[in-house]
Structure 1
Amino acid sequence: MSTALSRIPAYHRYAGKALPGQPGDSCHLLAWHSLDVAAVGWQLLAPERPLTRQLAAQLGIEPEALRRLLVFLLGLHDLGKFSRAFQEVLKLSLGGMASPQGKPYCQRHDRLGVLLWDACWSTWRRDGVLHWPEDAEIPARKLLIPMNSLMAPFFGHHGQPVATGQLTLADFFVDDGELDDAVAARDFVADWAALIEPHWPLDRMVDKQWLARFKTLSWTVAGWATLSDWLGSHRDYFSYCQRAMPLADYWPRALSQAEAVLDATGFGRPPEPIPYAGLAHWFAGTVTPTPLQQKAESLPLQAGPQLFILEDVTGAGKTEAACILAQRLLADGHGEGLYFALPTMATSNAMYTRLGDLHHRFYSSASRPSLVLAHGARELNEAFERAVMAASRKMTTTPTGK
């Protein structure tokens, strides 16, 4: 290795995304993509946000401590890209980058991340790579399930949990004498941990009841991780950078770019619910509530979880009554959004059309709420497609590379 390359951390020789042949930088270093995604997650998990408060309360961890732990783990979501097999598929021909080794890329990088983590985390913990508390003496065998459970939402950032099966580390992570993929990954993890300083709730991690709660919440955590990865891959806000620098120097840039993409996409701040002000606020003209709707307007709300079952004859305005309750619950701080569950695609399409822009009436004029049709044939719904096209015109998208 040349003297110049020897001064650069080995993990800066790996790309996270690439578009060879484009003007300017043709790749985005893996370290930078990892920090971009982590920065989006950091902003989304600000201690004052409802999601952070809810997760912290259910897991019994202070919001800031929870934020540091989850964001640290989020920064490891693409560990599998340290595989030379993945690097080869990017087809880069840049001097100093990890050299191709002819390894077949026959496994997804998320699965390769699990492979590397399973093989190395215990050694990394012992060697101090994970910013582990020095006085922690919990044996690795007791931490095997907790550590795998903590990482599952992050390696599953492409939509489903992943496992390694019978894969072998040496088949995908190369040590050619000049560059060792696993060592490069370890060095990145060590520097990232030193920067973010994760808090490991060791006493809780070995508690079966706590772990069960985390597994239940892991679907929420996975959604946050997936959203962070999606937004953190937006090239209009996270331009490619193939220049090496200390992680601490890049982190403020990533945080600034994350704030910009959240503001542009409406995630900068949650929609602000407004109090229910009567049906006249929803519909033009004079509207007289039905008896069921009057009941929904006046029914006392409780402090904790609540279940309302509305039954009445056809035409009694059950949907509007449910929406009245929904807006009142939102304004009272019981949620951030609402979900309509219908038995068929046809009834879902009908409800989507019927609601129109009613969801805008639930929030302040400065908010940017959206209504999403979530079934598998939504692309065939013309009203939904028009809404998607209108939204896409407000936010220009560009290819994100591999």
Structure 2
Amino acid sequence: MVDVRLCGKSEGLAEPYPVIGHLIDSAMVCGAVWDNVLTEGQRDRIAKALEVDLPEARRIVMFWAGLHDLGKIMPQFQDMILKERSGYCGFLSEEAYAHDRQADGKAGRTRHENATHGALPQLLAQLGYPVAGGRPAKLLLTQVAQILGGHHGRYPLDNDPRDLRNPLARLPELGSGAWAEQRQEHAEALHEVLGRPAVPDCRAMPPTTAVVVAGMVIVSDWIASQEHVIETQQKADGAQAGFGSRASLRVHARNAERMAPALLEDAGLGRASLRTGGFRDLFPRIRSPFPLQLSVEEGLSGAGLRGPGVLLVTAPTGDGKTETALYAASLMGAACGSSGLFFALPTQATANQMYGRLVAFAERNLLDPAQLTLLHGAADLYLPYAGSQRDAPADVPEPRVLSDCEPGAERNAGISVEAGRWLRNRGRGILAPLAVGTIDQALMGVLPLKRNALRHLGLSGKTVVIDEAHAYDAYTHALLLRLLEWLGALGAPVVLLSATLTGDIARGLVRAYLTGADPSNSSREIPVPAYPGWVYASARGDLVLEPAGPLRSERERKLVVDVRHVVHTYEPERADGRLAAVLDELDSVADGGGCAAVICTTVAEAQQTYEALRDHYRSRYGQGYLGWDDRSAEDGEREDAAAGPRLRLLHARFPARRRAEITAEAESWFGRTDKPGVRRPAGPRGAVLVATQVIEQSLDLDFDLVVSDLAPMAMLLQRAGRIWRHLDPPPSRPAWTEAPRLVVLAPVGKDGHLAIPRTWGEVYQPSLLQRTLELLDRRNGTPIAVPDDVQTLVDDVYAEEFVSAAPDKLMERDFRRLADDMARSAMADMVALPPPHRVTSLHPLTTSDADEELVRTRLGAEAVQVLPVFENEDGRWLDEGCSIPLPESGRGRKGRFTSSEVRELLAYVVPLAHGDWRKACGPANEPPAAWSKESRLARIVLLPQRVTGDGTVGALLGKSVITYDYALGLIKR
């Protein structure tokens, strides 16, 4: 008989909770996860792997999930959890208990999940699981042991062969005698309560199926471990006499079964059921779909899709790729029985922007309520997402989950498109039926991180959309290829979007997915999509779809590209210098109005360009010129009445709150004219935005002219997508602009060849800059036909047969680029999970000890979060006006910071690349002691700014002076 004095949960409870109670609760929650969370495709793959029907597969997985805490039946755990209550474990005699404690003490400490892993093979063998047929790692019972041994996030090493015969030989701390008998009693009792699930006669499951089951076990454990769940069960059990009898256990199971669906609903787990139909059904506000959208609708809807597949869409910006992806995702998801969506983007800004669009799409097309999460490191700082949550201690979610590694859950009173608190806790957001976030959130699923089973579970049930698939270096691109392999193996349909993608890279992305789904696909012929165009390939079988004919782009135009060879200097008197060229190109804006952007390579150069333009306009319009400082204007009318163009600077080294203000202002000047609040500069007074690459992807802006530093061809074409971007309704264009025009400032030396400024560092590959410049020079001003010329230009930059005017220099630069790409790809291969078809054990999938908040899925200079702090005789302040005090502690209990306080503080933080300045930091740069209680505040570096009557004196750190300026942002000199 099961002894209910064996305790499974204790902390925070008035009375201990028996192990058997938690095992049954977890099993019944797992059944609800199967019914209400898993997609049809996920269930089918599990049943197929186990070679049983769906109902039997459900009961088998429930049984496994229930067994996860069997390792708590050992002296160490019971001693830890019960010694303060009773001194010894009551179901043993004191002599036997003392004997086992003595043996336990000699053996060393063992975590209960590792005890489960060691004890389970023998117990499953006793239930009839096969023990022959290969080495232990290839047996189902040892794979199940590894899954359950990993329920706290790390898969243990493969079982020792001794675990099948006598686990005590390797793990004497498990306890013999009554301990072993009770482990067997608990396993048999659970097996009986669940109706004696069948013993699968199969070999080990495919690893991609095993990790989904592992994710189910973790989720079931977390849901069943919530304090209010256990207390509810305890109250129900109190009315049941003889809880240890089989009849009472069945009553307990029925109670848990009734409760489980509501628990999942409260947590925000479930499936997203989207309406199906034509494109106009999903997007009724789009009266005239783009040709691309109609082509995808016609091609996919008429093909009778079955099973997962991959769709690659290439088209210029503005051709409706986002809506195309959402439509295709609903169709492809329905075709393979998946239910949900993850939309992956390159930056936090693009993810934030997409969040609003996905909310609108979901509200229009969801058939049932489903929750939507925003996934990136600063999601809780984005007010449209974070604003609906109550103000709570930043790192003390309540009520707690009673687990020794995972805090946090709160019951959500209702379900909406917005995610509740349970899903917002760390590591859980990917489980939401709908999610949008940075690509990093998916890429971490192919790194050996703790609890990546949750990412595997979350991604395998969704259609994954990856936007800007071209926008990554060789390291991140290699991780993306591995991710596509895993998504193919997991059976998740994928949509890839790009405006500028080489044919070889396009083919490689599709092939990676197909190879993951079936290694025999590695030799499958994959066509390169036309531009604009699309190609669909089924994961299994040989179905390949393409447009019936050439597609017409709504963005067809002739792009004028003028290349100006300049000396990279900011000396205004230098006629052939960069600054002179910028001023010359912007004279038309100053004289005749209109909107222009100047895109610079580095933040420092953007600041210098902005200062030079400000000084130039001051000189031209007098010291009363207001266009550079919105604080100088008493109201909008006074600024509108001022002479000279409006002038703003935007880059990444502004505090989040200031950057948001500038971004909103830029959108009001350069955004779509049919949007509320947009007031495009008209008449003689124009506007100039000086920026870095931050405006390439994240903002929907329209300029009459873009002046850009030289960049790789794909990036230049991406920037050109901001020129005459909005065609419907058409904005008013100034008289001086007759066509969309891009001016490229190419830094050259005395010999007329490319001379890359040292200040650019490693921002771009020199060989790509040289190839881009030579290609543009060869065109000699011939306009670029968009989209007709785009694919050719992007491919030609990488062509092996490229003929250069400076072949020796290009060969040297190409060699360095290829070597660097190979090194980055090799590094990615070293840190990533192996391809799914090469995984023989689950253990390597979670070997990293890295904190996921610090994990790098992209290479480059590490950013340090710094906080400019303004100091005067009255104290320390967050603002230059010395009106907002720097909080030494929070307003919460015991000085803790609430979530809104953390959000407010982080809005003043600026990212600054790591460098020698960081080594020079000392006590003056450390945050207040109370900040150490909140992880995101503890890592902040303070930059004291001394406020004097003559202005602000920045922080001297080593050889650098770092100063914050309202208009310029953080300046490092």
Q: TM-score, normalised by structure 1?
A: 0.76
Q: Give, in angstroms, the shift of residue 41 of structure 1.
A: 1.0
1:78 Cα shift?
0.9
What does residue 273 of structure 1 align with? 274
> CA 1:306/1:253 → structure 2, altered by over 3 Å: closer, same or farther?
same
Displacement of 1:71 in angstroms is 1.4
Larger % of helix: which? 1
- Residue 323 of structure 1 is aligned with which of 326, 339, 342? 326
- Structure 1 position 152 matched with structure 2 position 146: yes
Which residue matches 1:374? 375
| Residue equivalent to 2:206 | 214
Confirm or deny that 1:190 pairs with 2:179: no
- Equivalent residue, structure 2, for 1:79: 70
Unaligned runs of 5+ in 2: 91-96, 161-168, 392-396, 404-973
Q: Deviations over 1:209-235 (max 9, x none)?
A: xx3x53221111112222211221223
- Percent pairwise identity: 23
Q: CA deviation at 1:333?
A: 5.5
C-alpha displacement at 1:286, in angstroms? Answer: 5.5
* Bigger relative contact order (CA 8 A; separation at least 6): 1
- The equivalent of 2:221 in structure 1 is 229
Q: How does 1:251-270 map to 2 (within 5 A)?
A: 251-267=253-269, 270=271
| Matched pairs, number | 361
Q: Is the 1:274–1:362 contact (alpha carbons within 8 Å) kept by the matching residues of 2? A: yes
Amino acid at match of 1:315: G
- For 1:185-232, what per-residue CA distance to the aligned partner results, in whole angstroms no more than 9, with x for missing partners? 121112222332121122x22xxxxx3x53221111112222211221
The answer to whether the aligner puts 1:340 opposite 2:334 as a matched pair is no
The Cα shift of 1:254 comes to 1.7
Deviates more, 1:313-322 or 1:227-236: 227-236
Cα distance in structure 2, aligned partners of 1:312 and 1:139: 55
Structure 1 gaps, min length 5: 1-7, 206-210, 391-395
| RMSD over aligned Cα atoms | 3.6
Structure 1 residues 369, 333: closer, same or farther in 2, change over 3 A?
A: farther
Measured in 2, the distance between the counterparts of 1:335 and 1:49 equals 5
| Preserved CA contact (<8 Å) 2:137 2:159 | no
Cα 1:57–1:235 shift into 2, 3 Å:
same
Cα distance in 1, alignment partners of residues 361 and 29 from structure 2: 30
Q: What is the DSSP-based 3-state SS (H/G/I as helix, E as strand, rest coil) of the residue aligned with 2:326?
A: helix
Residues 80-100 of structure 1 deviation map (CA, whole Å, 9 limit, x = unaligned)? 211332233335644597269
CA contact 2:32–2:261 (8 Å) conserved in 1: yes
Residue in structure 2 matched with residue 61 of structure 1 by the alignment: 52
Residue 2 (structure 2) aligned to one of 9, 16, 37: 9
- 1:110 deviation in Å? 1.5
Corresponding residue SS for 2:309: coil
Query: Of residues 89, 92, 99 in structure 1, which corresponds to 2:80?
Result: 89
* 1:318-361 Cα deviation digits (max 9, x unpaired): 11111111123345564211222334445434433443342333
| CA deviation profile, 1:70-126 (whole Å, cap 9, x unmatched) | 111111111221133223333564459726959689543212221333xxx33x456
Q: Deviations over 1:19-56 (max 9, x none)?
A: 35x5xx42221110111010011233349961323422
Alpha-carbon contact 1:273-1:362 (below 8 Å) kept: yes
1:13 offset after TM fit, Å? 1.8
How big is the shift at 1:371? 2.3
SS of residue paired to 1:43: helix
Distance 1:384-1:15 versus aligned 2 partners, 3 A rule = farther
Partner AA of 2:254 in structure 1: P
Larger radius of gyration: 2
Q: For 1:95 and 1:249, locate their aligned partners in 2 and report how far apart those are by CA, in whole Å.
A: 28
- Larger proportion of strand: 2
Amino acid in structure 1 at the alignment position of 2:73: F
Q: Which amino acid aligns with 2:9?
A: K
> Equivalent residue for 2:544?
none
- Confirm or deny: 8 A CA contact 1:236 1:397 kept in the other structure: no
CA distance in 2, matches of 1:58, 1:139: 18
Deviates more, 1:106-115 or 1:73-82: 106-115
Go from structure 1 to structure 2 and tell me whether the alpha carbon gap of 1:183 and 1:354 turns closer, same or farther (over 3 Å shift).
same
1:359-395 deviations in Å (ceiling 9; x for gaps): 333321xx222222334454444444346669xxxxx
Instruction: Tell me the secondary structure at the aligned position of residue 271 of structure 1.
Output: coil
- For the residue of structure 1 that corresponds to 2:292, the secondary structure is helix
Indicate how the Cα distance of structure 1 residues 64 and 165 shifts in structure 2: closer, same or farther if over 3 A, else same: closer
Q: 2:358 aligns with which of 355, 358, 362?
A: 355
Partner of 1:5: none
Contact 1:112 1:164 in 2 (8 A): no
Whole-Å separation in 2 of the counterparts to 1:125 and 1:157: 18
Aligned twin of 1:393: none
1:243-287 per-residue CA deviation (whole Å, 9 max, x = no partner) reads 6332333221221221332344454x633321145457547x554
The one-letter amino acid paired with 2:152 is H
Rounded Cα–Cα distance in structure 1 between residues aligned with 2:312 and 2:214: 31
Contact 1:41–1:74 at 8 Å: present in 2 too? Answer: yes
- The CA deviation at 1:159 is 2.6
